[in-house]
Amino acid sequence: MTGRSGRTAVIGGRGRLPMLLVEVLEAMGESPVLAELHGFPLDCPGGRQVEPLRVERLAPFLDRLHALDVQRVTFAGAVRRPRLDPGLFDPRTAALAPRLAAAMQAGDDATLREVIALFEEAGFAVESAAALAPRLLPGPGVLGTVAPDPQDERDAARAAEIVAALGAVDVGQGAVVAGGLCLAVEALPGTDAMLAALAALPRPDGWPARAGLLFKAPKPGQDRRIDLPALGAATVRAAAAAGLAGIGFEAGGVLVIDRDDAVAVADAAGLFLWSRPAVS
């Protein structure tokens, strides 16, 4: 049984991560609260109670969490900045609207920082997905049976520079590099869209059957309690379809969902899955 007081709310978006964290909390003996941001349906089995969250009704939602004895919140899953409906604001949330609007205009990172601040001001501790499930953050090393070669290592170094530059202007957390050339960068549509677009491009004459890598890392200076980049078996399949030789990611900075499945898919496809040591 858990020795922690109160309950944890998992505020989820799309993907496997929210339910994975619910399972972790239940295994610890907790009875977590599951909440769903409007417009981003959870991938969860039926029968579970789900608390709805609209940003325009944030203040009543915070009251509801207090009533449910929630003391901690964790954010998990893929979401985008929602479009707000001014007609749905309650008076107390309307008083917060200028803060939310200013943060949303400043970009994703500013928005996330403001969300964290609002929950902390309401008395909740904000806990990272990695703190709940540290196994999701692999340490340095190759996860499967396929290892990167020296060219892959050079491509990873180049991609890490590109991702750091993108993150500094709050654009994305991933890039594809092959032979030192940047083939794609992650923007608002996300990693899956980037890899699908790359897979649709014709391969140059003489190009190897597999070349290059996807590299993912957090944005420089981001609050790692929220919005860490993630990958899983679906990402590996998309990288294989795009003709890449593998996936590299910053050790300790990227969540690997259902690691055993991701490694199995990578090994079967002949791709490396490399947790690259962070370079300061």
> For residue 1, what pLDDT is reported?
45
Residue-wise burial string across 193-206, b where 16 or more C-beta atoms lie within 10 A, e elsewhere: ebbeebeeeeeeee
Cα separation, 10 vs 143, in Å, equals: 28
Q: Which residue has the higher pLDDT, 67 or 112?
A: 67
> For residue 207, what pLDDT is reported?
78
| Sole residue written with tokens 């929630």 | 70
Please, are residues 51 and 67 in contact by the beta-carbon 8 Å criterion? no
CATH fold match for the domains 7-132 and 137-276:
no
| Confidence class for position 105, pLDDT limits 50, 70, 90 | confident
Beta bridge partners, 53, equal 37
> 29-33, 75-79, 103-107, 168-172: which has the minimum mean pLDDT?
103-107
- How does pLDDT run across 142-185, given as a tens digit for each residue? 999 999 999 999 999 999 999 999 988 888 899 999 999 999 99
Q: Where are the domains of the chain?
A: 7-132, 137-276
pLDDT higher than 90, residue 121: yes
Return the structure tokens found at 61.
Answer: 């939602």
> For residue 225, what pLDDT is reported?
84
Return the structure tokens found at 3.
Answer: 């020795």
CA distances from 221 to 49, 109, 158, 216, 225 (A): 36, 10, 19, 15, 12
pLDDT higher than 80, residue 243: yes
Cα separation, 139 vs 278, in Å, equals: 10
pLDDT higher than 90, residue 13: no
User: Quick one: what percent of the chain has pLDDT higher than 90?
Assistant: 64
CATH class for the region spanning 137-276: alpha beta
Handedness of CA 104, 75, 128, 71 (dihedral sign): positive
pLDDT higher than 60, residue 117: yes
Residue-wise burial string across 243-274, b where 16 or more C-beta atoms lie within 10 A, e elsewhere: bbbbbbbbbbbbbbbbbeebbebbbebebbbb
- How does pLDDT run across 187-225, given as a tens digit for each residue? 888 899 999 999 998 877 777 889 999 999 998 888 888
CATH class for the region spanning 7-132: alpha beta
pTM of the complete model: 0.87
Using only C-alpha atoms, what is the Rg of the chain? Answer: 20
> For residue 115, what pLDDT is reported?
85
> For residue 242, what pLDDT is reported?
95
CA distances from 190 to 4, 22, 196, 201 (A): 36, 24, 10, 17
Residues 6+ positions from 94 with CB-CB distance below 8 Å: none
Cα separation, 172 vs 104, in Å, equals: 16
How far out from the chain centre does Cα 57 lie?
Answer: 24
